[in-house]
A and B are shown apart, each in its own frame.
Chain A
Amino acid sequence: MAKRARAVRWGVPVAAVAVVAAAVGTGPVIAAVRSEPSLPDRTAEQLLADVARTWQTGRMPQMSGTIVETASLGLPSLPGLSGSSGGPGPSGGASMASLLSGSHQLKIWYAGEDRFRLMLPGEMSETDVVANGGTVWLWDSAANTATRLTVPAGSAGGHGGHDAPFPMRSGAASPFATPDQAARQALEAAGTDTAISVGDDVTVAGRAAYQIVLTPKSADSLIRDVRVALDGEKLIPLRVQVYTKGAAEPAFEVGFESLSFTAPAAENFSFTPPAGAKVEEGTATPPADHRPEAVAEAHDRGRVVGSGWDSVLVTSLPDAPAQKPDAPAQKPDAPAEKQDGKERGGLDVAALLDGLKGAATPVSGEWGSGRLLSTKVVSILITDDGRLLAGAVTPEALYRAAGVKG
């Protein structure tokens, strides 16, 4: 066979690879081509006002969709996400800590504040939160356990905390939030220290969306900006992206991958514990969550220095081995949030942690000495006198905070 004919033949698989690559890339490409959806111009102020109005009425449209969360390396906390996490979409339960790394999927069916279902698919397993009226079921297929959580009167859709209908933990332990929650938190955190602008319109999950860009004014912040995509029509948040300084890809992203504003099927909200399943009662914590009180304790002992984007969590180190008898491999100097993440998050997070520990460098200065973990989105300082400082700020800001109390 002639050489040329042979070369042509080998062009076919190359073309096949190109076709596949094109097909995989089609989504983003189409989105890019359509990236200027024609939405009426609005200033940031108008947009925020409209959003505030929409949220005050508290009526989220009925919808069902798939939310994808992507977190890059070592993101234990998003500033402003800690504390209250109100809104109808709770953080959905036991395996949430596994969301600290990689990309994860969450499906949502939403028919109203007290009628919704969240599904976290796993490999041959599933975690579900099904709310219907006053009853909330937490279903963990791997443990074959259904937990009935009764909603205390008046707190449905209220603010999170330990009395919330769902086992919501504060920021560090629940990095995952619905776009609604995340956007609300980001906007609430915005104050005098944030520049708010309207970015280019984008297409998210096939819908034209406004984009609000929140840029921290502080030079100490590791966050470059936070971009909130708001549906052009319904004004609900479709996506939240956190960009760090000097990174092209978002360090954290949560947004709808697919979304439809149709009423979800009623079957989604009717949960009956299957025969043979363990049924538990109460406002209990999820079964797989062994020691939530340890986290709560760590947070109770902590205090926040600074404000807004520069917030630094200062806490004394927990006595890890004593608090975690079920995690013998735990090193006593590990950060509190991360211990929790490791315990509940399984191997992925553990491996991640080991990597981070390896990256810890001894540092010292006027404030004292200790070890510093620095990731692109968070800095963690463990001082030799047993304090832990963490924040989405530069190490220098941590040193300053460490020097304040001495």
Chain B
Amino acid sequence: MSMGENGTAVSEARPLAREEAPVREERRPARPAPGPVRHLTRLLASEIGLTFRRPRNLAMLGVLAVVPVVVGIAVRVASDGDAGGSIIGQIAGNGLMLTFAAFVVMMPIVLPLTVSVVAGDAIAGEAAQGTLRYLLVAPAGRTRLLLVKYANVVVFCLAACALVAVSALVTGLVLFPVGPVTLLSGTTIPAAGALLRVGVVVLYAAAGMAALGAVALAVSTLTEAPIGAVATSVVLVVVSQVLSAIPQVAAVRPVLLTSWWGAFDGALRAPVAFDEMGRGLFAFAAYVLVFGSLAWSRFTSKDITA
């Protein structure tokens, strides 16, 4: 059986059970025999299309975009010209700080929650809808499908983090004066340099969220109830944050995913703390490797009945 046939089978079978009617047209291959890579990109493109058109996901992205605006307005209303020392306090003096403050506010729970919903739903959601079977008509399809699902999660993480940054930047520009930014080290850098560091923060945050996405995806392969996968993932996040806060079990901190999320503040130091962030990226990669392989083992060996 050639790849082209696989692709056709997957592409045509799947939308039947889905609500999105227009998608069907896109999924039909334009050419008869696309190669494996082409097939993958095609599948990924359709996944991404589905993800970003889904009303629930759009609503979550909307919330992500609104939080920085709310923080900005709150600071604007509350501030009476007194710029405090904390990151929130500095927003009043410089709108660019709102971007970093937004990540401080949203990294612990809002962003992880969003990512958990998308990634936890990835496999379990299809199973619950009864569409997973159709996706797996192709005999060699499970590994590829999982890869595509995860790639989709990564894209979503990146989009979510970029959206937070853009929303915060725009809000900051509108509500507050913008100028050279004071780093944590007390060094002042021009606004352009600060924008570059915003980019670094976005990429780092997205990597951290992608690691959580791998965990949620692994959980998602274990169940046919998407809400269970999402809840499990969120509970894991909360539990590890609670563990981080208990001094008696400080030894486990380096092992917890959540304790590395905060290391994006390395981008706000002079010189940039690449070593610390590198260690964080290593932790993320380790999580992706372990939970990705767990997801793979489970997904490729389980009986799909729905």
Enumerate chain A interface residues (CB-CB to B < 8 A): 1, 5-6, 9-10, 12-13, 15-17, 19-20, 23-24, 66, 101-103, 105, 119, 121, 123-126, 128, 137, 139-146, 258, 265, 267-268, 271-277, 347-348, 351-352, 355
| Contact indicator A141/B185 (Cβ below 8 Å) | yes
The 8 Å CB contact of A142, one of B85, B188, B268, B282, is B85
B residues 244-292 in Cβ contact with A at 8 Å: 247-248, 250, 262, 265-266, 268-271, 273, 275-276, 282, 286, 289-290, 292
With both chains docked as a complex, state the minimum distance between the C-beta of A395 and any C-beta of chain B, in angstroms: 25
Whether B86 is near chain A, meaning CB under 8 Å from some CB there, is yes
Q: Which of B85, B104, B266 has the most CB of A within 10 A?
A: B85
* In the bound complex, CA of A128 to CA of B44 (Å): 47
Enumerate chain B interface residues (CB-CB to A < 8 A): 83-87, 89-90, 93, 104, 182, 184-188, 247-248, 250, 262, 265-266, 268-271, 273, 275-276, 282, 286, 289-290, 292-294, 296-297, 300-301
The 8 Å CB contact of A20, one of B286, B294, B296, is B286
* In the bound complex, CA of A140 to CA of B84 (Å): 13
* In the bound complex, CA of A355 to CA of B250 (Å): 15
Q: Nearest CB to that of A139 among chain B residues?
A: B186
A121-B290 CB under 8 A given contacts A6-B301, A9-B301, A141-B85: no
| Contact indicator B293/A13 (Cβ below 8 Å) | yes
With both chains docked as a complex, state the minimum distance between the C-beta of A247 and any C-beta of chain B, in angstroms: 15
With both chains docked as a complex, state the minimum distance between the C-beta of B259 and any C-beta of chain A, in angstroms: 10
| Contact indicator B87/A126 (Cβ below 8 Å) | no
* In the bound complex, CA of A1 to CA of B270 (Å): 55
Q: Nearest CB to that of B93 among chain A residues?
A: A276
Residues of B within 8 A of A143 (CB): 85
* In the bound complex, CA of A267 to CA of B294 (Å): 46
A126-B184 CB under 8 A given contacts A144-B84, A145-B85: yes
* In the bound complex, CA of A118 to CA of B231 (Å): 43
| Contact indicator B250/A101 (Cβ below 8 Å) | yes
| Contact indicator A142/B286 (Cβ below 8 Å) | no
| Contact indicator B247/A128 (Cβ below 8 Å) | no
A272-B188 CB under 8 A given contacts A66-B275, A121-B269: yes
Q: Pick the 10 closest A-B CB pairs, nearest first.
A: A144-B85, A274-B182, A16-B293, A126-B184, A13-B293, A20-B286, A139-B186, A13-B294, A348-B247, A9-B297
